[in-house]
């Protein structure tokens, strides 16, 4: 495989690059290093099968040049994290809409296989017990910028889906549910690395809202091989596939686990959503994936338990040199 990974310097993208290189593929990572980091790819820099191109998916010419040499495109580049989306709504929309259009058009022109990283956010406030891929979307008002990420990712899915239907593009849409692991940054609103950093610093762990909201965290070590297998599975083309974990936890319960696993003296402090994200922020009470489709297509079963993933994140944080940017974990 000659693969392009957009967002290859990011959390999931860098693990995907590691996996592809370890399995003998050639990889070009395209990343503007906005939320990603070159140091996430340090281990690959001397490998002749790996190239990092620093640039934006908004640069149509660059995207065309990079994709022209490949047969497979994993499109992970996006503006992510609640803080990024709420603080930079226009730039985020631009990246998540026009950037994706550029990448999918280049993949289609090249005849390359294409995977788009979508999100459980597309389900919005639907808190059903096990969200299937056909579940309804329940989004708040488009006037609340908090929903712009979900709206843009939904449109991205549609673009990929329509390319698949209309021009036969081999396109897989993966919907990630709260994926966690080493190298994820806590800077942009991701809860697990934020809690781990607070616990290691002995600071209060700040839980937004009442803490009874429930999530199901998936391990990057489960998701990355699944992404590659889905790309090799024609039955996955032209459809969406949920990928995530199986273990549900409240956010307060997550904070307690992080405290226990780090041996921290941190306390838990509740912060209102308004104080965290500004007035009018809406959260969902529950988000739980149904991963039956992934199991049927590729035998997907999440194997990594949340405690083990938290331990791996803690170990990575502890080995980060003092003063290194948090994004590099
Ligand atoms: N981590 C999760 O739980 C999760 C959940 C749902 C969906 N996703 C999706 O998975 C993908 C990867 O997310 P992640 O968690 O690894 O986040 P991340 O921020 O670590 O990765 C995103 C990468 O995209 C890069 N990027 C942003 N704008 C760019 C641009 N204009 N041009 C080139 N590169 C650009 C960033 O520098 C970063 O390296 C994203 O598409 C995200 O929407 C992630």
Per residue in 92-148, pLDDT tens? 999 999 999 999 999 999 999 999 999 999 999 999 999 999 999 999 999 888 899
In a domain, residue 228? The reply is yes
Centre of ligand 1 to C-alpha 118, Å, is 10
In a domain, residue 6? The reply is yes
Residue 325 pLDDT level (bands cut at 50, 70, 90):
very low
In a domain, residue 168? The reply is yes
Determine the atom of ligand 1 nearest the C-alpha atom of 34.
37
Q: Active-site residue numbers?
A: 149
Determine the atom of ligand 1 nearest the C-alpha atom of 13.
16
Q: What are phi and psi of 275, to 5 degrees?
A: -70, -35
Per residue in 79-91, pLDDT tens? 998 888 888 999 9
- Which amino acid residue places its CA nearest to atom 32 of ligand 1? 56
Centre of ligand 1 to C-alpha 45, Å, is 20
Residues within 6 Å of ligand 1 by CB: 6-7, 9-13, 30-36, 56-58, 76-80, 95, 99, 117, 119, 176, 178-179
Domain span at 67 = 2-179+218-245+288-303
In a domain, residue 207? The reply is no
The HSE-up count of residue 271 (CA atoms within 13 Å, CB side) is 15
Residue 242: strand pairing partners: 175
The total number of structural domains that make up the chain? 1
In a domain, residue 73? The reply is yes
In a domain, residue 61? The reply is yes
Per residue in 9-64, pLDDT tens? 999 999 999 999 999 999 999 999 999 999 999 999 999 999 999 999 999 999 99
- Which amino acid residue places its CA nearest to atom 2 of ligand 1? 179
- Which amino acid residue places its CA nearest to atom 11 of ligand 1? 76
pTM for the full predicted model: 0.96
Q: For the range 16-22, what are the long-range contacts, defined as Cβ-Cβ under 8 Å and sequence gap of 24 or more?
A: 16/74, 16/76, 16/224, 16/227, 16/228, 17/41, 17/44, 17/50, 18/43, 18/44, 19/224, 19/225, 19/228, 20/228, 21/47, 21/49, 21/50
In a domain, residue 91? The reply is yes
Q: What is the CATH number of the domain that holds 62?
A: 3.40.50.720
């Amino acid at each position: 495989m000659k693969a392009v990974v957009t967002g290859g310097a990011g959390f999931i993208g860098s693990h995907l690059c590691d996996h592809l290189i370890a399995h003998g593929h050639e990889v070009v990572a395209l990343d503007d290093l906005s939320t990603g980091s070159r140091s996430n790819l340090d281990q690959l820099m001397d490998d002749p099968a790996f190239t990092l191109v620093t640039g934006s998916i908004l640069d149509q010419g660059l995207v065309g040049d990079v994709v022209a040499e490949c047969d497979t495109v994993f499109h992970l580049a996006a503006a992510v994290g609640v803080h990024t989306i709420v603080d930079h709504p226009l730039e985020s929309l631009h990246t998540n809409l026009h950037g994706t259009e550029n990448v999918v058009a280049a993949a289609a022109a090249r005849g390359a296989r294409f995977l788009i990283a979508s999100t459980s956010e597309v389900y919005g406030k639907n808190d059903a017990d096990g969200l299937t891929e056909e579940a309804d979307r329940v989004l708040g008002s488009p006037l609340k910028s908090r929903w712009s990420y979900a709206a843009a990712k939904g449109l991205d899915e549609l673009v990929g889906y329509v390319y698949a239907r209309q021009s036969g593009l081999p396109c897989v849409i993966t919907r990630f549910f709260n994926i966690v692991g080493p190298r994820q940054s806590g800077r942009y609103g991701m809860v697990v690395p934020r809690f781990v950093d607070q616990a290691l610093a002995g600071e209060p762990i700040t839980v937004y809202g009442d803490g009874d909201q429930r999530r199901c965290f998936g391990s990057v070590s489960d998701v990355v091989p699944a992404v590659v297998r889905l790309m090799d599975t024609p039955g996955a083309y032209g459809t969406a596939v949920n990928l995530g974990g199986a273990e549900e936890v409240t956010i307060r319960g997550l904070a307690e686990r992080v405290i226990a696993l780090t041996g921290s003296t941190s306390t838990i402090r509740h912060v209102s959503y308004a104080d965290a994200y500004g007035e009018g922020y809406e959260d969902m009470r529950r988000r739980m994936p149904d991963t039956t489709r992934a199991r049927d297509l590729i035998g997907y079963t999440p194997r990594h338990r949340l405690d083990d993933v938290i331990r791996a994140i803690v170990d990575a944080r502890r080995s980060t040199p003092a003063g290194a940017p948090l994004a590099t974990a």
